[in-house]
Structure 1
Amino acid sequence: MWRKIKNILFYHWPIHLINIVLLLLPDCMPVNKVRGTLMKPFFKRCGRNLQVCSNVYFTHIENISVGDNVFIGRNSWIGGYGEVIISDNVMIGPGVLIASANHKYTNETIRFGGYEQSTIQIGKEVWVGGNTSILPGVNIINNTVVAAGSVVNKSNLTPYSLIGGVPAKELKKSI
């Protein structure tokens, strides 16, 4: 119980306060950089020049690592129940869901069956299009473009590729 209270006080409340205070300001580069700078101490690791737009929600931010020059679009949700690693020069579009845990089915129940956690890795120079869902255990390799509206449930193995669809698959090599 004390662990939950500590988690709420040290990780959830400060992030909510930062979002509430800066929600009144427009989504523009200086405000996004201020938001990123204020959130930086709460990440497991955070590089330089993080830009976070409004209404971005992090859970278990202490399990999320962010590289240099990362942009996270508005209304995104990043769940760090498992580990989330976002490398350098990554652009995450608006409305993106990154979920590093999933419910598991045990004792004939899903609701109370607990969670399965897996690491999500997003490589360098990746562009994640808007309204994309990235599911647990996915590794998006360097220099990949993820088409908007995709559901990424498997890792891609080809750099410089375009992936997309539901479920996501390789659409084009050598972009």
Structure 2
Amino acid sequence: MKDDGGRRMVRPGSETAKMLAGELYDPMDPDLVAARANARDLCRALNATADAEADTRRQILRELFGRGGDSVWMQPPFWCDYGAHIELGERVFFNFNCVVLDVCPVRIGSFTLFGPGVQILTPLHPLNAEQRRSREYGRAIEIGEDVWVGGGALILAGVRIGDRAIIGAGSVVTRDIPEGVLAAGNPCRVIREIGE
């Protein structure tokens, strides 16, 4: 079910609501299992399309993403957990083999570019082994406008990346990155500001 803005509605107190709020939740909840299965089916269909099937690809992207499917530029294959929790600005670009695990919201600004093999990972797991058997949680990720993320970078749960930042290939982003900087490494650190 969707609201007037086309967003999927979430029942208060449900495992989905807990998940999106960053609380411990049961990933085997039937509603979540069904939502993941739907997203995986859409990803499989997307990944099977040829470049010439632009209309089919666009229809799938509109259905998959919470927002931004109308203008996203996608080079399959692409995989995500739910898709509905991914909100894109205008003309975001994903190169081949990108993965977005969206157990919490992922918001990406307009004209942001992702190189091949980038992973955006919101899930986290409890340190307590017994809890880890049946519960997980996550933290939202926000990526600004005009960001360029190099191939193979990992963007981890709870991170914010500012507008116009550049993240070097292979970086592991574990903390916030301010706007207008070049950052790289493991862990990713600011190297310098980006001048004109």
Q: Aligning the two structures, in what range does the TM-score lie when normalised by the shorter sequence?
A: 0.7 to 0.9
Task: Indicate the larger mover: 135-144 or 37-46.
Answer: 37-46
Give the letter for the 2:31 counterpart.
R
Give the letter for the 2:86 counterpart.
I
**Residue equivalent to 1:174:** 194
Return the match for 1:163 from 163, 179, 183: 183
- The count of residues paired between Structure 1 and Structure 2 equals 167
Superposition deviation, residue 4 in structure 1: 3.9
Higher strand share: 1
Contact 1:33 1:50 in 2 (8 A): no
**Residue equivalent to 1:146:** 167
TM-score of the aligned structures, taking structure 2 as reference length: 0.76
Which string of whole-angstrom CA distances, capped at 9 and with x for unpartnered residues, describes residues 4-24 of structure 1? Answer: 45414543312312222x1xx
Identity %: 24
Return the match for 2:143 from 122, 131, 134: 122
> Matches of 1:49 and 1:8 in 2, distance apart?
23
> Matches of 2:55 and 2:190 in 1, distance apart?
33
**Residue equivalent to 2:66:** 44
> Matches of 1:148 and 1:100 in 2, distance apart?
20
1:11 equivalent to 2:32? Answer no
Matches within 5 A, 1:77-116: 77-106=99-128, 108-109=129-130, 111-112=132-133, 114-116=135-137
> Matches of 1:105 and 1:118 in 2, distance apart?
15
1:132 equivalent to 2:153? Answer yes
1:67 equivalent to 2:95? Answer no
TM-score of the aligned structures, taking structure 1 as reference length: 0.85
> Matches of 1:31 and 1:142 in 2, distance apart?
32
Contact 1:104 1:113 in 2 (8 A): no
Contact 2:82 2:101 in 1 (8 A): yes
Which string of whole-angstrom CA distances, capped at 9 and with x for unpartnered residues, describes residues 62-98 of structure 1? Answer: 1111110110010111110111111100000000010
Give the letter for the 2:190 counterpart.
E
Contact 1:82 1:119 in 2 (8 A): yes
Which 4+ residue blocks in structure 1 deviate beyond 2 angstroms? 8-12, 30-38, 108-111
